[in-house]
A and B are shown apart, each in its own frame.
Chain A
Amino acid sequence: MSAGLNLLLVASAALFAVGVFGAVARRSAVVMLLGTQFMFMAGALAFVAFARFGLGAQHGSAGAAMALFAGAVAVAELAVGLAMAAVIYREHRSFALDADRG
């Protein structure tokens, strides 16, 4: 039994699928933001996995650097998204993003 590139890529794909589900199927702005965060996390995990176990492992720091950049961009996106969610809540008293709301 071992843990290698395949396992981490499958986990990354599963995490990305969870993020897509949260971003598409839920109406809450906060949960949609969390879904996008999970997609960022999945991408960062794939970068790190390739850097550790893939063909580019001779330059393993590159994958970790990409993961670091992805995490920082995700935090920036979360800050802007939460500010938008706060504005939506001020106006509608709800986090729900629904086009049919009166």
Chain B
Amino acid sequence: MPLIGALPQPITSAPLVFFVYLVLILLIGSALASVLLRNTLYAVGAFAASMVLLALLYLAIAPFLLVALQLLVFTTVSAVLLIGLLRGTTRLRTSSLGRLSPGWIIGGAVSSVMFALLALVLGATSWPVQVCCSIPEDFGQVLANSYIVGLAVLAVILGSAALGSGLMLAAPTLPSPRGGGSTTSRSPGGGGSTTSRSPGGGGERNVRR
């Protein structure tokens, strides 16, 4: 009995091959757009699109639990973190439209129709999950049995990351040695300099006379 069996065959089904090629091209394109765009908000949007496209690619070649985690957890958490950073720092603000404005209603209706259409297609055709072959179904059991230590370590890493980032955000900003958050003015005679904190606390300004 050979130690290593035959290699799994590549995907040859024409619709699935087309799907994989399309997703890969879009994935590389959105990744390039994410690192090339000057607008940070657009870059974050392209990054979120890349995460969704990777989840779609996993749909064809990976267990469904990984697809769900990639799509629902990793993409959502990353997008929420990035949007939260942008809202907390730059000019990204909440929409001025009311909750029941026509724009929100039309957008919600279109999104609902699209999701319903997608669910209908997936439910009626089982595409592309059933097209792929030899996908292990016991991924959850493998995780719970063989990788329980890894899951525990991962929980510690995620908890410490959340704790560390929370502490870092809660800590007061220290003035930088170059004058961040403070205004430094030099006396005309070239003597000593006086440092005073600006009322806003955030501006960085060095004034030389």
Query: Closest residue to A38 on the B side, CB-wise?
Result: B31
Taken residue by residue from 8 to 48, chain B's Cβ proximity to chain A (1 for < 8 Å, 0 otherwise) reads as: 11111010110011001001100110110000100110010
| A21 vs B169: C-alpha distance when bound (angstroms) | 28
| A61 vs B62: C-alpha distance when bound (angstroms) | 9
Known: A60-B136, A71-B74. A3 touches B20 (CB 8 A): yes
A83 and B164 within 8 A (CB): yes
Partner of A34, one of B47, B160, B203: B47
17 A-B pairs besides A7-B20, A31-B40 with CB distance below 8 A are: A11-B27, A15-B31, A21-B35, A30-B40, A35-B35, A37-B78, A48-B66, A60-B136, A64-B66, A65-B150, A67-B58, A78-B78, A82-B165, A84-B168, A91-B180, A91-B204, A92-B176
Most buried by A among B50, B65, B89, B146: B89
Query: Closest residue to A4 on the B side, CB-wise?
Result: B10
B158 and A75 within 8 A (CB): yes
The minimal Cβ–Cβ distance linking B87 to chain A, given in whole angstroms, is 11
Partner of A30, one of B77, B82, B136, B154: B82
Known: A26-B35, A65-B142, A82-B81. A77 touches B161 (CB 8 A): yes
Contacts of B169 in A (CB 8 A): 83, 86-87
Which bracket fits the contact residues of B? Answer: 35 or more
Partner of A87, one of B58, B74, B146, B168: B168
A41 and B50 within 8 A (CB): yes
| A54 vs B82: C-alpha distance when bound (angstroms) | 35
Pick the 6 closest A-B CB pairs, nearest first. A4-B10, A22-B35, A76-B161, A83-B165, A61-B142, A2-B10
Chief secondary structure at chain B's binding surface: helix
B50 and A38 within 8 A (CB): yes
A34 and B43 within 8 A (CB): yes
Contacts of B84 in A (CB 8 A): 82
Q: Which B112-142 residues have C-beta < 8 A from chain A? A: 134-136, 138-139, 142
| A79 vs B82: C-alpha distance when bound (angstroms) | 9
Could you list 13 examples of A-B contacts with CB < 8 Å?
A: A11-B28, A18-B31, A25-B35, A44-B54, A51-B62, A67-B58, A76-B161, A77-B161, A78-B82, A82-B82, A83-B168, A86-B85, A93-B203
